[in-house]
Structure formats: structure tokens, C-alpha cells
């Protein structure tokens, strides 16, 4: 082995230009991989931390639907499909809470609504998370109250983010104020539903960004009514004694035979005025379907516990015939998590293209090097060097270049990352804030990604040297010795 190393480094120094070309390609490959993977890891961690700590938890349970479903509803064309409710909610919740590692859980109803202040033409749009404040704010405790307070159980109120209100002020020239009464208009299968709520709190969530700032929180019954999850009304209709007598009549004469007497009205102006001031009967209250929940969200101690609980719950649903499904935070995050996957796929495709180009360039360079060293190879073969020795010699040269310039590329990568950190690159929009895991890009270097980058670059170099070596070994020793 020491002999091969001495020969390898001697040959590399004798062919400096070609060694430098190959080395620069390998170093650039390491820089691209390390910096790119650092960005991917930062983006993935940012999205994951934001959604697990603020919205999705580790476990996400929903009803089944034909289209993909996330915490934001059915991901269908036009968003026209209704989000299903979880069958046997209490039974499912009890099973979930019995799983090892499940610390906290809460239910949620998701919907959309237009909102506007009373006696105003101004209008805004919000995604509504209908929650049970008692359990929701225990599950997600990262809220910072900027004005007002958190929503209380059973309250006809709404919480909105400061980020969204600031954006409304900028784009539309108005914003709801704390204490304002807002009319929420929701669209369901049974038509339009309107609810009156009070803006009780203006908040900020952990890693708050424009991308998710349109979310507002209301009491679950408000969301249920806007979604049409009602069973009728609970108003009792008063029945007079005369009406009861008519209902109990057994013949037509009793119903229609009595003469009709129209008495002269003796109502005075004063009494008419008194009647006009009598308040109207209260509007019938909707009877809310208390069992209607779109989702169950849970937090666990570890990811391992979450994965086991998800598998257990899906097995339980199959066994019990419950039309529900359990998934992780990525399914719950829906389009936000999918965007990271798309970016990673695009990055990987770009890396594959770069790797193919690098292999071709390196291969051509090595072919030229082999041709120039035909005489040397033939002499070694004539002196008794076996083909395996020649293979090992070229492999050692290739590995030496990969290791040396791989380390150089690694140092350059750390320098690029340090420069990016020092530049304090600001996120220009809400989506970038999620990708950056904050308002400023702070790249995180994953040791696993560094090792994988070095291994991948070395593998590319090894693949590139195979063809030139095969050419070298095809040359007959005598003919090779005759080549100058």
C-alpha cells in the first residue's frame, strides 16, 4: 500500500493540470452538496418545528376522503369537497390517549369564512380553526398574546394574528380592532351561515410568518355552525289551549263548523305603541352536533412514540371498521410539507445532472491521462505487474484526489456557510420565513449530510475512472512499450 501511495502522488504531481481539473470538479461538488443539503435540512427543520409546535402536533387523525386531506381541509380541485368528520370521535380519542407516549391531544374543526365589521363594507378572509380552548392551548402553548387575551371555552370570540392584521392594513387600508364585533359568513352544503363574534385577542405564534398568518381561532361550536354541523333548533313552540283543543278535535264540525266571529278591535293607540315596543321573540338557537370533529391532533414525547402510535391507530381503525386514518405531521401540513419535498426533488435532480456532467468531464480527462501513460503501463505489465496492480494504482490515485480535494471542498463549504450567516439574508415573504425557520437564514450543518457528500463525490470519482482503466488494461504490454 505505501508503494501504491508513493506512485499515486508522484503521478498526480507529474500531471498537475489534469489532477487540478479533476480536483476542482470534486471540490465544487462537495460545496454544492454540503451547502445545498444544509439549506434543505434547515428548510425541513423549519417547516417541521413550525407545524408541530403550532398546528399539527406529531399525530394527525382525520376521516377518510377520496382526495388528500390535511389540517387545512380536502386538497381537491376548487376545494369544493367537504372535510369529513371523525366517526366515533370519543371512542377514537380514548384509544389515542391510551397509547404510550401520547402527552396531549385536542380536536379541531377547520373551515373558511369571510368576515366584516358590523355596518361596514370592509371584508376579509380567514381560515378558521374551531377549537376547544381548554385542551388546545395546552397542546399548543406557543401563543404570545399581544393584545387582549386567549379565547375562552364556549365564548363567541375570535383570535387573529398580528401579522395578518398588519398585512390587511397594508393591502386593504383597514384592520379589525380589539373588541370589534365581526360577522363571519361561512358556506356549507346547507347554504350560507352567519355568526357574530368579538375579536378578543391579537396573537403571535412561534415562528410566526405570512404564510400561515391567515389562520384565526374560534370556538368549535362557531366553526361547526358555519360548516353546517347542526341538528336543527332547540326552541320550544308554545301551544295555546284553543290550539290544543283543535288538535284534539275528532270531527270536521269541531274544526270548521263553528261560526267565525270578527270582533271590533278595541286596541288603543297607546296599547299599539306598547306592542310595537315589545321585543321580538329570540331567534331559534341552532343545536350543534357536539360529536362533529374534523381532526384529532396529538403531541408525543418522541418521534418513535409517534410512529408507533400512528401504526397502532391505523391497525385499530381497520380492526374496528372505523372510517378514519392516522398520519404524521407532514400529512397534516399538506401543501407546506409538500413544497419542501418538491424543492428537495428539484435539488436532487440538479445534483444528478451535475454529477453526470462531472463524470463525463473527469472520464475524458482520465482517458487522456491514460493515453499519455500507455508506455508506463506497458512497461509495468512487461515487468510482471498484474492487471489488479494497475487497477489498484489508478484507484489509489483517484481516491487520493477525492480525499484531498474533498477536504478542500469541505473547508470551502464551511466558508460559504459562514459568509451566508454573516450576510443575515432576510426572508422576503412568509413562505421563505418558514423555509428559513425564521426571518433570517441560518443554515444548519448536518454531520450526516457532510459525510454523505464526501461519500457521493468519492463514488463519482471512482465511477469516472473505471472506463479509462479498462482501456489501459486492453493494451498489450509489448505494443504499449513501443508507444512513446
* Structural domain contains residue 266: no
DSSP element (H, E) containing 248: none
One domain, residues 27 and 139: no
* Structural domain contains residue 136: yes
Q: What is the mean pLDDT of residues 148-163?
A: 93
Residue 295, φ and ψ in degrees, nearest 5: -140, 155
- Contact indicator for 186, 126 with CB cutoff of 8 Å: no
How far is Cα 165 from Cα 100, in angstroms, rounded to an integer? 40
Write down which residue in 307, 327, 347 finishes a domain. Answer: 327
- Contact indicator for 62, 54 with CB cutoff of 8 Å: no
Q: Which candidate, 450, 459, 420, 461, places its Cα nearest to that of 30? A: 450
* Structural domain contains residue 159: yes
As given in the structure block, the three cell numbers for residue 178 are 380589539
Determine how β-strand 215-219 pairs with β-strand 124-131: parallel
Residues 6+ apart with CB under 8 A from 247: 239
Q: What is the pLDDT of residue 450?
A: 85
Write down which residue in 271, 300, 327 finishes a domain. Answer: 327
Q: How far apart are the first and last CA of the chain?
A: 28
Q: What is the pLDDT of residue 222?
A: 92
DSSP element (H, E) containing 80: none
Is residue 257 scored above 70 in pLDDT? no
One domain, residues 67 and 206: yes
With cut-offs at 50, 70 and 90, classify the pLDDT of residue 326: very high
- Contact indicator for 377, 389 with CB cutoff of 8 Å: no
Write down which residue in 272, 297, 327 finishes a domain. Answer: 327
Q: Which candidate, 84, 64, 200, places its Cα nearest to that of 145? A: 200
Is residue 351 scored above 90 in pLDDT? no
How far is Cα 180 from Cα 118, in angstroms, rounded to an integer? 9
Is residue 278 scored above 50 in pLDDT? no
One domain, residues 349 and 319: no
Q: What is the mean pLDDT of residues 40-63?
A: 87
One domain, residues 83 and 173: yes
Q: Which residue would you say has higher pLDDT here, 76 or 88?
A: 88
How far is Cα 54 from Cα 51, in angstroms, rounded to an integer? 5
Is residue 144 scored above 80 in pLDDT? yes
Is residue 259 scored above 70 in pLDDT? no
Range of the domain at 113: 59-233+289-327
Q: Which residue would you say has higher pLDDT here, 246 or 206?
A: 206
Q: Which residue would you say has higher pLDDT here, 426 or 308?
A: 308
Mean pLDDT of the chain: 79
What's the whole-model pTM score?
0.69
Residue 129 DSSP SS3: strand
Q: What is the mean pLDDT of residues 346-353?
A: 82
How far is Cα 477 from Cα 176, in angstroms, rounded to an integer? 88
One domain, residues 45 and 186: no
- Contact indicator for 435, 40 with CB cutoff of 8 Å: no
As given in the structure block, the three cell numbers for residue 455 are 461519500
One domain, residues 116 and 40: no
Residue 191 DSSP SS3: strand
Residues 6+ apart with CB under 8 A from 195: 156, 183, 184, 186, 222, 225, 226
Q: Lowest-pLDDT range, 23-32, 328-337, 358-367, 415-424?
A: 358-367
* Structural domain contains residue 267: no
Q: Which residues share a beta bridge with 69?
A: 74
As given in the structure block, the three cell numbers for residue 150 are 386567549
How far is Cα 291 from Cα 86, in angstroms, rounded to an integer? 9
Residues 6+ apart with CB under 8 A from 356: none
Is residue 145 scored above 80 in pLDDT? yes
Residue 78 DSSP SS3: helix
Domain count, the chain: 2
Amino acid at each position: 500500500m505505501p508503494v501504491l501511495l508513493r506512485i499515486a502522488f508522484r503521478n498526480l504531481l507529474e500531471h498537475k493540470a489534469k489532477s487540478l481539473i479533476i480536483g476542482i470538479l470534486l471540490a465544487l461538488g462537495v460545496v454544492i452538496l454540503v451547502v445545498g443539503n444544509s439549506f434543505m435540512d434547515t428548510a425541513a427543520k423549519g417547516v417541521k418545528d413550525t407545524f408541530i409546535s403550532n398546528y399539527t402536533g406529531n399525530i394527525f387523525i382525520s376521516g377518510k376522503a377520496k382526495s388528500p386531506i390535511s389540517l387545512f381541509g380536502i386538497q381537491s380541485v376548487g376545494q369544493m369537497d367537504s372535510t369529513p368528520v371523525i366517526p366515533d370521535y370519543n371512542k377514537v380519542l380514548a384509544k389515542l390517549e391510551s397509547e404510550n407516549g401520547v402527552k396531549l391531544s385536542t380536536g379541531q374543526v377547520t373551515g373558511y369564512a369571510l368576515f366584516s365589521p358590523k355596518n361596514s363594507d370592509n371584508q376579509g378572509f380567514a381560515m378558521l380553526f374551531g377549537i376547544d380552548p381548554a385542551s388546545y392551548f395546552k397542546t399548543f402553548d406557543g401563543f404570545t398574546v399581544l393584545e387582549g387575551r386567549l379565547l375562552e371555552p364556549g365564548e363567541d370570540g375570535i383570535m387573529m394574528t398580528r401579522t395578518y392584521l398588519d398585512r390587511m392594513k397594508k393591502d386593504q387600508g383597514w384592520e379589525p380592532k380589539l373588541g370589534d364585533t365581526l360577522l363571519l359568513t361561512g358556506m356549507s352544503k346547507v347554504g350560507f351561515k352567519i355568526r357574530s363574534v368579538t375579536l378578543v385577542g391579537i396573537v403571535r405564534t412561534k415562528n410566526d410568518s405570512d404564510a400561515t398568518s391567515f389562520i384565526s381561532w374560534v370556538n368549535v361550536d362557531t366553526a361547526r355552525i358555519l360548516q353546517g354541523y347542526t341538528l336543527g333548533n332547540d326552541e320550544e313552540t308554545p301551544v295555546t289551549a284553543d290550539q290544543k283543543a283543535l288538535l284534539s278535535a275528532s270531527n270536521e264540525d269541531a274544526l270548521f263548523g263553528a261560526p267565525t266571529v270578527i270582533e271590533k278591535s278595541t286596541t288603543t293607540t297607546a296599547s299599539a305603541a306598547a306592542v310595537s315596543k315589545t321585543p321580538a321573540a329570540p331567534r331559534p338557537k341552532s343545536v350543534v352536533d357536539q360529536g362533529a370533529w374534523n381532526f384529532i391532533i396529538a403531541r408525543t414525547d418522541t418521534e418513535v412514540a409517534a410512529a408507533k402510535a400512528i401504526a397502532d391507530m391505523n391497525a385499530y381503525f381497520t380492526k374496528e371498521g372505523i372510517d378514519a386514518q392516522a398520519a404524521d405531521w407532514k400529512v397534516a401540513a399538506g401543501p407546506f410539507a409538500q413544497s419542501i419535498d418538491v424543492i428537495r426533488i428539484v435539488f436532487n435532480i440538479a445534483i444528478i445532472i451535475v454529477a453526470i456532467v462531472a463524470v463525463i468531464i473527469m472520464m475524458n480527462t482520465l482517458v487522456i491521462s491514460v493515453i499519455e501513460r500507455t508506455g508506463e503501463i506497458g512497461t509495468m505489465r512487461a515487468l510482471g505487474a498484474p492487471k489488479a496492480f494497475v487497477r489498484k494504482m489508478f484507484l489509489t490515485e483517484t481516491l487520493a484526489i477525492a480525499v484531498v480535494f474533498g477536504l478542500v471542498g469541505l473547508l470551502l463549504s464551511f466558508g460559504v456557510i459562514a459568509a451566508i450567516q454573516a450576510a443575515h439574508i432576510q426572508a422576503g415573504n412568509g413562505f421563505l420565513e418558514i423555509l428559513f425557520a425564521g426571518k433570517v437564514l441560518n443554515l444548519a450543518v448536518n454531520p450526516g449530510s457532510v459525510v454523505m457528500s464526501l461519500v457521493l463525490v468519492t463514488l463519482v470519482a471512482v465511477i469516472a475512472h473505471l472506463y479509462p482503466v479498462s482501456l489501459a488494461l486492453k493494451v498489450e504490454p509489448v505494443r504499449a512499450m513501443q508507444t512513446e
